């Protein structure tokens, strides 16, 4: 039988190798992390790129069984951030040299909304003199909408597949939510020339280690540029909550998320990997530990305070309590220094994987 060291000496991993790596413990796990740290140093270095996150709206027409802001949760008070406040946040991010921003929201695709987003994008580009790199995470849209948003200034798009297992996907979503359509959206975004990010949740009900191994292979097969993944965290007003007793412990979900980040860094050496809020929610040093073993992107929350508690995707979401904006970055820089990393201020931080693909 292959040892973890044997596997880590290979140049690529198959499904069984990945299951073994995801199951590593003790010294083996430390060895795996050490190898990921080395690979990270060599290919992407110690710089961490920032994305100022604006949770633009919690209106959503979908009903994903895991998500706290699903349409069916009538206890959510719905908001859309005032357009002026978005522009103000963009100016703030630019002045504080975040380099990039992300607009994320529940899913809406009516014309009034898609046009508002286009308008916002153009305004942000204008007031920041085209300095900010803009990422969108606004769900499934038509090719035409994706094209319009790109023309208005968006450069990157995040659309998590959530799980690469179709059968599991159908257990986590109502019947009218389609895995194939989501996958098609990812491919359309690639075709349109976006830098494309996807990702999965880790430790969901019914999900196995074998599914997670397949997720890693899926990212590689799709030749994805950016990955954002994090632990699944239950929310009391969602259909999946009844399965909470069957979940892995929060410690295990966090550790599995770290393993996923580290193994992905070994498999896709030059992609951007986010240290996600969900990881920080389950562990006070979650972001720093993720950065240590492979992540190179952090998304500090710049959503105006009055809206934050309503973007409640899962229990205990950490940024609801984040520090006031002005000392957020000083604290982040100091904590990143403890793991040998630093903030790359004022840079777009494009995925090297994307830029080198384009040069080929
Ligand atoms: N509506 C868009 C973007 C906002 S939701 C979309 O769905 O693509 C952003 C991400 O939050 C989702 O992709 C999902 O992976 C994550 N999320 C939702 N509910 C969660 C939960 N209970 N635990 C952890 N992550 C969750
Ligand atoms: Fe809506 Fe996204 Fe939540 Fe699904 S995960 S319910 S699409 S906000």
Cα–Cα nearest to 220, from 191, 168, 263, 162 = 263
Distance from residue 105's CA to the centre of ligand 1 (Å): 9
Instruction: Give the phi and the psi of residue 233 in degrees, each rounded to 5.
Output: -125, 130
Q: How far is the CA of 185 from the centre of ligand 1 (A)?
A: 16
Neighbouring residues of 131: CB distance < 8 A, sequence distance ≥ 6: 94, 99
Closest ligand to the CA of 63: 2
The whole-model pTM stands at: 0.97
| CB-based pocket (< 6 A), ligand 2 | 60, 62, 64, 67, 69-70, 106-107, 139
Q: Which protein residue's CA is at the shortest distance from atom 4 of ligand 2?
A: 64
| Cα angle for residues 142, 144, 147 (degrees, 5° grid) | 115
pLDDT in tens, 58-99: 999 999 999 999 999 999 999 999 999 999 999 999 999 999
> For residue 128, what pLDDT band results from cuts at 50, 70 and 90?
very high
What average pLDDT does range 130-154 have in this prediction?
A: 97
| Distance between Cα 218 and ligand 1 center (Å) | 19
pLDDT tens track for 262-271: 999 999 999 9
Give the C-alpha separation, 109 to 152, whole Å: 16
Give the pairing of strands 230-231 and 100-105. unpaired
Ligand closest to CA 104:
1
The mean pLDDT of the chain is 95
Cβ atoms of 112 and 80 within 8 Å: the answer is no
Residue nearest to ligand 1 atom 25, measured at CA = 232
Mean of pLDDT values over 150-171: 98
Q: Which ligand is nearest to the CA of 173?
A: 2
Task: Give the Å distances, CA to CA, from 61 to 58, 70, 109, 172.
Answer: 10, 7, 9, 16
What digits encode the pLDDT tens for the residues 243-295?
999 999 999 999 999 999 999 999 999 999 999 999 999 999 999 999 999 99
pLDDT at residue 335 is higher than 80 = yes
- Of all helices (H) and strands (E), which one includes residue 90? helix 83-95
User: Environment class of residue 330 by beta-carbon count within 10 Å: exposed (0-12), middle (13-18) or buried (19+)?
Assistant: exposed
Of ligand 2's listed atoms, the one at least distance from the Cα of 63 is 6
> What is the per-residue burial (b if ≥16 Cβ within 10 Å, else e) of 213-252?
bbbbebbeebebbbbbbbbbbbbebbebeeeeeebbebee
Q: What mean pLDDT is predicted for residues 301-313?
A: 91
Pocket mutation for ligand 1, best pick of 313, 317, 318 (most atoms within 8 Å of C-beta)? 313
């Amino acid at each position: 039988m292959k040892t973890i060291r044997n596997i880590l000496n290979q140049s690529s991993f198959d499904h069984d190798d990945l299951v073994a790596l995801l199951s590593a413990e003790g010294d083996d796990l430390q060895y795996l992390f050490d190898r990921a740290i080395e690979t990270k140093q060599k290919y992407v270095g110690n710089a961490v790129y920032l994305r100022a996150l604006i949770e633009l709206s919690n209106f959503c027409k979908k009903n994903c069984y895991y998500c706290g802001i699903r349409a069916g949760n009538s206890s959510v008070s719905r908001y859309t951030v005032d357009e002026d406040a978005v522009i103000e946040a963009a100016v703030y991010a630019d002045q504080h040299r975040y380099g990039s921003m992300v607009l994320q929201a529940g899913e809406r695709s009516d014309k009034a909304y898609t046009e508002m987003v286009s308008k916002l994008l153009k305004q942000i580009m204008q007031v920041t003199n085209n300095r900010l790199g803009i990422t969108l995470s606004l769900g499934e849209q038509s090719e035409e909408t994706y094209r319009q948003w790109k023309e208005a200034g968006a450069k990157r798009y995040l659309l998590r597949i959530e799980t690469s297992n179709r059968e599991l996907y159908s257990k986590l979503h109502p019947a009218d939510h389609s895995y194939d359509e989501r996958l098609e959206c990812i491919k359309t975004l690639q075709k349109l020339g976006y830098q494309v990010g996807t990702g999965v949740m880790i430790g969901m009900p019914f999900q196995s280690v074998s599914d997670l191994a397949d997720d890693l292979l899926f990212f590689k097969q799709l030749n994805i540029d950016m990955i954002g993944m994090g632990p699944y965290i239950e929310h009391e007003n969602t259909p999946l909550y009844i399965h909470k007793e069957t979940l892995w412990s929060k410690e295990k979900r966090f550790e599995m998320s770290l393993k996923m980040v580290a193994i992905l860094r070994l498999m896709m050496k030059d992609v951007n990997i986010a240290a996600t809020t969900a990881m920080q929610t389950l562990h006070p040093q979650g972001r720093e530990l993720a950065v240590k073993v492979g992540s190179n992107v952090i998304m500090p929350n710049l959503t105006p305070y009055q809206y934050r508690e309503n973007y409640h995707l899962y229990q205990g979401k950490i940024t609801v309590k984040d520090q006031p904006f002005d000392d957020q970055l000083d604290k982040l820089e100091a904590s990143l220094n403890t793991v040998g990393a630093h903030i790359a201020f004022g840079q777009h931080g494009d995925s090297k994987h994307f830029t080198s693909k384009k040069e080929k």
